[in-house]
């Protein structure tokens, strides 16, 4: 307790003008910069190593400048491996899943928020219950059902199950509830049916929520691994995550081949990185706008 | 949320809403039914059957075997029990280390980047959050390189005069501190087929590398949750505390942290749920090795079914894992229930953030709110 | 109360849905589709898929071209797929009713897949049945039925880097024929830059020492567990001794994925590998000079392990007739010799032995090993036990061989009970 009183005067003054204040701020920056380096450096190493020769990668793993620049890893990936196929599959699946989720999530979210029908509360309770089922538990069950439905080893089997997105519906429902009901009333009076009201009046207003779903779905389906393992087997249907995971576990090739693997890892990071930087403001400062004081 | 249905029917304008309501939600109902409800029921049947992986699990040649698959895992005395025990042990240590570490780091980073005096906040947030958006496969590949015996991490350690371990190939438990065998009573007595000496040994060095990976990739997401919460805190209590002459440290512990409690619980719950499901990193990186010390129940469930044809056992592992996760979620909710005030605040805050809509934070928020509303619906 | 009924309704709906799904059951084909011919094999015009687990580009190319040849001469289309995880892909294929028609199948998987009816037991229908080595046929016989044609086989040998050998002042006379000599040369070959001997830390390599001491995990027919014998303890103790002397290291511990990589990269002067190493050496490390010797003898004389795969045919394949023809072609002397040239395995048929020896004078030690080689366990579930054994061998340097083997004895006994 004595320390408390002892320190009191310092805090009643404007503290960052004191020498200790400056020292404290420098320390803050030093600590943050050190942590930032730890967080960023691995990605720089990833990029640098992908342009190194194998010997260079093993010999000097820390250096960010390859002794001799080589694009051998990238050439091998794009010219003599299935990598382009994996990339294509990831793009197809991600785009379709994202589009599907945006549509289905907002449709269901709207119904749950705005339309009155018997059983709505039960549905919502079910939805919440379903959100609690951990994904990994579904690994074997999903395989069984996909199989039973006859869509195993097809795009349908890879895409359709990923459209289930209880969290997304939840987000959309919350958003629609925040839109004043008066907006729709007018359209209704003008004789628009529920789908018209949803499609041309409410959905355009939901842009921020839709963008959230886009970001989440894109990231989620681009980075998904387990589902693709159990839903397909043909090499023609391999996605980036599955392909690179198998490359990494050494099953496709012999030896370590770090430049090759790291080049693959770097390329698969690019699309999510682009989405991240495009929507960076929204992702990182999301809550800034929400502060109501 | 229940208020809508209690409103009197208005007819006229609202006619046909029931039909469109069901129509609008039909795709979702069908999808969730097909890919969540039915799969779980099918797998539940498989976990009680002797299905060998060929033909339909419902065909006449498949028999009901009761709890056999479960008892083999929990008290069979064989390799299956041992493997399951090892997987549980590994994952338990993973949870015990990852959850506090990632929460503490995320909170620390959030408090730091939330300081008004800090310049370049955007840069720091980007840097700390970026690992969270990249795929676990890519990060694991990177980790394999960084932590190989002559990799970047060991090179960096060597500058500090430390000889790094052969990370991903070192099965030694980190709390064994190099001891290769323990006291006889710990070696002899076993739980789930695993000697107590191994249970207390902590994660292996290899698992520890994966623990670092998890902290690296998840701290950013949780940092954003904390940042969002911090920005929603009223400044007045802070100011009052400052007037009272509390130091920064004291204000953090006595004022800020108690206000962050709802977020803290959300983060802990999400962390617990996520940590019991480690799969990608194991599939990509270690396949359970070295010496099975990175085997997790999720991965074991997968290999039992897809590689070893023991589908019943694989499904049983999945359900035991399910029970474990549900247990921890309920436990968290029980703790939440103790603080009625915090809960209300959390709800307000959830609505505020989701309304402003945002981010990967959203599912987390949604999950937090889900726990909340779920409770409400039960009453 | 009302809520309760609703929940029940929802549950009932879900169950009804599950039942409806079973009824349609389109995904699971219990019986093989396609018409049957007189010899009990299915026949159709469907193209064949061939699933292989490849050791590298050399093997992939060789199988590719052999299958393409057959395809153009027979008129049946066939595509070769390299599995990234053979066991998983086979299993997933069988469960989904969409397996590959023809595939590599290892000895330890035979029992599991044969017992659940995934495999076609076609061995007796092979035109060249009598040409296969009997010990290999034995490896692919389950419940008295000869299931599949041995594709080829390999044994383990000692691979020596000749430059390092000379640099250490060693000559051909020093090639070790006993454990003691192995210890000596391994010590001489260990320098700060490389270790004397690097091997994969697994049963499939270390097991050779057990056979040299006169033991093995199971008896020849895999009907009896023999893990905890003094012979096996002696074998492991020898490996432990080398590990602790620092003259033997596991490939992982020198930063390599397997023995061949450690050897090729010059991280080790010797390794213990099978015929497949020749393919990797010529593709990945063409400049490394090496020679092959038989493994040194232990207290019970010479010993090595023998590995073999077969060409499995799926019970669900719609075109088994064509698959059988393809397998007959792939196991013919000319094809096997071509494979051997590409990636080093030894032909599984007696009629190709002489030609193989003349064509591969350098590899003769491998074929000599066939005289005394022992197989790996094939009992159902033995693969799991071997995996468990492997995980324990990783820490062999610091653990007690007797304890490890006692645990495996229990595990193996559980399989044959």
Give B188-231 pLDDT, tens digit per residue: 778 888 888 889 888 999 999 999 999 999 999 899 889 888 88
pLDDT digits (tens, 9 = 90+) for C353-387: 889 989 888 889 998 888 898 888 888 888 888 98
* A181 vs B342, more confident: A181
Yes or no, beta carbons of B53 and C94 under 8 Å apart? yes
In a domain, B95, yes or no: yes
DSSP string, A238-278: --HHHHHHHHHTTSSSSS--HHHHHHHHHHHHHHHHHHHHH
Residues B187, B72 share a domain: yes
Contact between chains at C18 and B41 (C-beta distance less than 8 A) = yes
- Domain assignment of residue B35, given as a range: 16-47
Q: Are B278 and B210 in contact (CB under 8 A)?
A: yes
Q: What is the pLDDT of residue C195?
A: 95
**Same domain, residue pair B31 and B72:** no
CA dihedral sign of residues C385, C390, C392, C396 = positive
Q: How far is C350 from chain A (nearest CA, A)?
A: 31
Distance from CA of B202 to the nearest CA of A (A): 24
To the nearest whole number, what is the mean pLDDT of chain A? Answer: 83
**Token pair belonging to B86:** 């090892």
Other beta carbons within 10 angstroms of residue C225's beta carbon come to 24
Backbone angles phi, psi at C197, to 5 degrees: -135, 130
What tokens does C384 get?
């799991």
Q: Is the Cβ–Cβ distance between C333 and C356 less than 8 Å?
A: no
Q: Are residues B219 and B327 in the same domain?
A: yes
Contact between residue B172 and residue B294 where contact means Cβ atoms under 8 Å apart: no
The structure tokens listed for B180 are 């290769």
CB A199 within 8 A of CB A102: no
Residues B42 and B141 reside in one and the same domain: no
If one counts every other C-beta atom within 10 angstroms of the C-beta of residue A154, the result is: 15
Same domain, B34 and B148: no
CA separation for the pair B291, C293 (Å, rounded): 31
Smallest CA–CA separation between A44 and chain C, in Å? 22
Which alpha helices (H) appear in A179-257, and where do they start and end?
A: 182-189, 194-196, 203-205, 207-223, 226-231, 240-248
The whole-angstrom separation of Cα B18 and Cα B229 is 38
- Specify the number of domains making up chain B: 2
**Which residue shows structure tokens 């009223």?**
B234
Whether the per-residue pLDDT at B76 is higher than 50: the answer is yes
Contacts of B154 in chain C (CB under 8 A): none
Report DSSP state, residue A151.
-
Beta-carbon contacts below 8 Å between A and C: 72
**What is the spatial distance between Cα C196 and Cα C206, in angstroms, rounded to a whole number?**
16
Taking residues C254-266, what's their average pLDDT?
89
A248: nearest CB among B285, B370, B373: B285
Could you count the other beta carbons within 10 Å of the beta carbon of residue A95? 15
User: Among A206, A205, A215, A213, which residue's Cα sits nearest to residue A281?
Assistant: A215
CB-nearest partner of C21 from B38, B52, B169: B38
Who contacts A89 (Cβ-Cβ below 8 Å, separation ≥6)? Answer: A236, A237, A238, A239, A240
* pLDDT of B343 higher than 70: no
More confident residue, A188 or B354: A188
- Out of A60-74, B51-65, B327-341, which region has the weakest mean confidence (pLDDT)? B327-341
Q: With contact defined as beta carbons under 8 Å apart, do B37 and A142 qualify?
A: no
pLDDT at residue C158, as a whole number? 96
User: How far apart are alpha carbons C325 and C318 in whole angstroms?
Assistant: 14
Assigned CATH topology for domain A82-252: MetI-like fold (1.10.3720)
Kindly determine whether residue A234 and residue C81, on different chains, have CB atoms separated by under 8 Å. Answer: yes
pLDDT (mean) for A217-222: 92
Q: Determine how many CB atoms are found less than 10 A away from the CB of residue B205.
A: 21
Mutate to test the interface with C, among B2, B25, B53, B179 (most CBs of C within 10 A): B53
Is the same domain home to B293 and B168?
A: yes
Same domain, B125 and B35: no
Residue B252 lies in a domain: yes
- Give the CA distances from residue B60 to residues A32, B55, B125, C24, in Å, rounded to whole numbers and listed in that order: 64, 10, 58, 15
Number of neighbouring beta carbons within 10 Å of residue C5: 9
Residue B4 falls within a domain, yes or no? no
Instruction: Please indicate whether, in this complex, the C-beta atoms of C391 and B56 are within 8 angstroms of each other.
Output: no
d(CA A198, CA A192): 9
Q: Each residue of B107-142: pLDDT tens digit?
A: 999 988 887 777 888 888 889 999 999 999 999 999
Residue ranges of domains in chain C, CATH in brackets: 35-154+307-372 (3.40.190.10), 156-306+375-416 (3.40.190.10)
Model pTM score: 0.82
Interface contact B78, partner C, CB < 8 A: yes
- For B344, other C-beta atoms within 10 Å of its C-beta total 12
Q: What is the DSSP letter of B359?
A: S
Residue C312 φ/ψ, nearest 5 degrees: -80, 150
Chains near B, with 3+ CB pairs < 8 A? Answer: A, C
Start-end of H helices in chain A: 2-12, 19-50, 54-59, 72-79, 83-114, 120-131, 139-148, 155-159, 166-178, 182-189, 194-196, 203-205, 207-223, 226-231, 240-248, 258-278, 280-284
Does residue B10 form part of some domain?
A: no
How far, CA to CA in Å, does B2 sit from each of A119, A278, B375? 11, 38, 13
Residue of C nearest to A150 (CA): C27
Q: Which of C14, C91, C250 sits opposite B33 (nearest CB)?
A: C14
Same domain, B28 and B107: no
B151 and B42, same structural domain? no
User: In whole angstroms, what is the distance from residue B119 CA to residue B66 CA?
Assistant: 63
Asked whether residue B60 is assigned to any structural domain, the reply reads no
Q: Are B131 and B245 found together in one domain?
A: yes
pLDDT of A46 higher than 80: yes
B181 CB neighbours in chain C (<8 A) are 399
Name the residue with tokens 């209300």.
Answer: B344
Percent of chain C residues topping a pLDDT of 70 = 90
- The position carrying tokens 């010590």 is C187
Share of chain B above pLDDT 90, in %: 26
Mean pLDDT of chain B: 79
Lowest mean pLDDT among A43-57, B289-303, C11-25, C328-342: C11-25
CA angle B280, B324, B71 (to 5 degrees): 100
Name the one residue in this structure whose structure tokens are 């430390």.
Answer: B162
Tens-place pLDDT, residues B145-167: 999 888 889 999 999 988 888 88
B289: contact with C, CB 8 A cutoff: yes
| Residue in C with minimal Cα distance to B173 | C395
Question: Is residue A243 predicted with pLDDT exceeding 60?
Answer: yes
CA distance A25 to chain B (A): 8
Contacts C24 to A, Cβ<8 Å: 148
Q: CB distance from B250 to chain A under 8 Å? A: yes
Q: Tell me which chain C residue has its CA closest to the CA of residue A233.
A: C89
**pLDDT on residue B364:** 43
Task: Name the minimum distance, in Å, from the CA of C85 to any CA of chain B.
Answer: 9
Give domain limits for chain A: 2-75, 82-252
Asked if residue B71 and residue B40 are part of one domain, the reply reads no
Let me know if residue B195 belongs to a domain: yes
The two structure tokens encoding residue A154: 């097809």
Q: Where are the beta strands (DSSP E) in C30-163?
A: 35-36, 42-43, 48-52, 78-82, 102-106, 141-142, 145-146, 149-161
- Residue B14 neighbours by CB under 8 Å, 6+ apart: A116
């Amino acid at each position: 307790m004595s320390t408390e009183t002892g320190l009191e005067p310092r805090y009643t003054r404007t503290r960052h003008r004191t020498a200790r204040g400056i020292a404290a701020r420098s320390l803050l920056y030093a600590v943050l910069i050190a942590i930032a380096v730890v967080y960023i450096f691995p990605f720089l190493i990833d990029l640098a190593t992908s342009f190194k020769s194998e010997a260079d990668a093993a010999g000097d793993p820390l250096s960010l400048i390859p002794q001799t620049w080589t694009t051998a890893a990238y050439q091998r990936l794009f010219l003599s491996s299935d990598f382009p196929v994996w990339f294509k599959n990831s793009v197809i699946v991600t785009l379709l899943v994202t589009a599907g989720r945006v549509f289905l999530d907002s449709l269901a979210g709207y119904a749950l928020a705005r339309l009155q029908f018997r059983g709505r509360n039960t549905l919502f309770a079910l939805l919440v219950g379903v959100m609690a089922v951990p994904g990994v538990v579904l690994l074997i069950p999903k395989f069984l059902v996909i199989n039973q439905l006859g869509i195993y080893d097809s795009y349908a089997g890879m895409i359709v199950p990923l459209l289930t997105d209880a969290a997304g519906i939840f987000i959309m429902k919350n958003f629609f509830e925040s839109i004043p009901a008066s907006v729709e009333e007018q359209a209704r009076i003008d004789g628009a049916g529920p789908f018209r009201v949803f499609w041309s009046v409410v959905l355009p207003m939901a842009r921020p929520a839709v963008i959230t779903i886009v970001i989440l779905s894109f990231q989620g389906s681009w980075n998904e691994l387990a589902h693709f393992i159990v839903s397909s087997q043909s090499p023609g249907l391999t996605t980036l995550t599955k392909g690179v995971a198998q490359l990494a576990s050494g099953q496709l090739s012999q030896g370590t081949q770090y430049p090759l693997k790291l080049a693959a890892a770097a390329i698969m990071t690019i699309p999510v990185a682009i989405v991240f930087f495009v929507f960076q403001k929204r992702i990182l400062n999301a809550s800034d706008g929400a502060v109501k004081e | 949320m229940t208020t809508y249905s209690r409103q009197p029917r208005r007819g006229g304008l609202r006619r046909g809403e029931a039909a469109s309501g069901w129509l609008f939600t039909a795709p979702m109902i069908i999808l969730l039914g097909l890919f969540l409800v039915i799969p779980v029921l099918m797998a539940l049947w498989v976990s009680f059957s002797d299905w060998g992986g060929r033909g339909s699990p419902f065909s006449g040649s498949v028999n009901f075997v009761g709890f056999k698959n479960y008892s083999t895992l929990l008290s069979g005395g064989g390799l299956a029990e041992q493997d399951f025990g090892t997987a549980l042990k590994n994952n338990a240590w993973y949870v015990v280390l990852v959850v506090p570490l990632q929460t503490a780091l995320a909170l620390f980073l959030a408090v730091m980047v939330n300081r008004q005096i800090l310049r370049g906040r955007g840069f720091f947030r980007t840097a700390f959050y970026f690992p969270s958006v990249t795929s676990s496969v890519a990060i694991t590949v990177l980790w394999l390189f960084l932590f190989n015996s002559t990799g970047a991490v060991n090179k960096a350690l060597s500058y500090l005069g430390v000889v790094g371990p052969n990370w991903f190939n070192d099965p030694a438990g980190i709390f064994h501190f190099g001891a290769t065998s323990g006291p006889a009573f710990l070696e002899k007595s076993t739980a789930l087929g695993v000697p107590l000496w191994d249970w207390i040994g902590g994660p292996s060095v290899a698992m520890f590398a994966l623990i670092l990976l998890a902290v690296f990739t998840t701290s950013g997401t949780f940092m954003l949750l904390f940042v969002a919460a911090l920005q929603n805190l009223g400044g007045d209590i802070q100011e009052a505390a400052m007037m009272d002459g509390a130091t920064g440290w004291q204000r953090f512990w006595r004022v800020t942290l108690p206000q962050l409690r709802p977020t803290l619980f959300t983060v802990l719950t999400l962390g617990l749920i996520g940590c019991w499901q480690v799969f990608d990193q194991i599939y990509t990186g270690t396949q359970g090795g070295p010496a099975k010390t990175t085997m997790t129940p999720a991965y074991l469930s997968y290999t039992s079914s897809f590689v070893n044809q023991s589908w019943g056992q694989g499904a049983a592992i999945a359900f035991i894992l399910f029970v474990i996760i549900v247990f921890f979620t309920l436990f968290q909710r029980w703790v939440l229930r103790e603080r009625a005030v915090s809960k209300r605040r959390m709800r307000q805050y959830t609505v505020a953030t989701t309304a402003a809509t945002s981010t990967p934070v959203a599912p987390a928020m949604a999950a937090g709110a889900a726990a909340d509303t779920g409770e409400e619906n039960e009453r | 109360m009302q809520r309760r009924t609703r929940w029940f309704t929802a549950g009932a709906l879900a169950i009804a849905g599950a039942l409806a799904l079973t009824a349609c059951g389109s995904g699971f084909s219990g019986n093989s589709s396609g018409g049957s011919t007189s010899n009990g094999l299915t026949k159709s015009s469907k193209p064949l898929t061939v699933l292989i687990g490849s050791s590298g580009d050399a093997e992939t190319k060789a199988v590719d071209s052999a299958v393409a040849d057959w395809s153009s001469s027979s008129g049946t289309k066939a595509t070769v797929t390299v599995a990234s995880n053979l066991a998983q892909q086979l299993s997933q294929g069988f469960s989904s009713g969409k397996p590959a028609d023809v595939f590599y199948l290892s000895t330890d998987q035979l029992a599991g897949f044969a017992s659940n009816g995934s495999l076609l037991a076609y061995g007796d229908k092979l035109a060249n049945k009598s040409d296969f080595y009997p010990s290999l046929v034995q490896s692919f016989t389950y419940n008295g039925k000869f299931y599949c044609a041995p594709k080829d086989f390999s044994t383990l040998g000692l691979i020596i880097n000749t430059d390092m050998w000379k640099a250490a002042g060693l000559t051909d006379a020093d090639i070790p024929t006993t454990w003691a000599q192995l210890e000596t040369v391994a010590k001489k070959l260990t320098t700060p830059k490389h270790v004397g001997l690097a091997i994969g830390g697994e049963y499939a390599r270390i097991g050779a020492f057990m056979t040299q001491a006169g033991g093995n995990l199971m008896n020849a027919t895999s009907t009896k567990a023999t893990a905890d014998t003094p012979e096996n303890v002696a074998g492991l103790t020898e490996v432990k001794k080398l590990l602790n002397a620092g003259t033997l290291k596991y490939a992982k511990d020198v930063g390599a994925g397997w023995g061949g990589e450690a050897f090729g990269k010059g991280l080790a002067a010797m390794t213990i590998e099978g015929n497949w190493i020749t393919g990797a050496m010529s593709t990945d490390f063409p400049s490394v000079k090496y020679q092959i010797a038989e493994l040194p003898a232990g207290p019970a004389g010479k010993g090595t392990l023998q590995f073999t795969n077969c060409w499995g045919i799926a019970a669900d394949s719609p075109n088994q007739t064509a698959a059988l023809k393809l397998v007959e072609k792939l196991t013919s002397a000319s094809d096997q010799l071509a494979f051997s040239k590409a990636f080093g395995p030894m032909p599984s048929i007696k009629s190709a032995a002489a030609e193989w020896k003349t064509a591969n004078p350098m590899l003769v030690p491998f074929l000599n090993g066939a005289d005394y080689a022992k197989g790996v366990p094939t009992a159902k579930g033995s693969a799991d036990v071997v995996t468990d054994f492997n995980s324990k061998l990783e820490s062999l340097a610091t653990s007690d061989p007797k304890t490890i083997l006692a645990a495996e004895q229990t595990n193996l006994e559980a399989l044959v009970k």
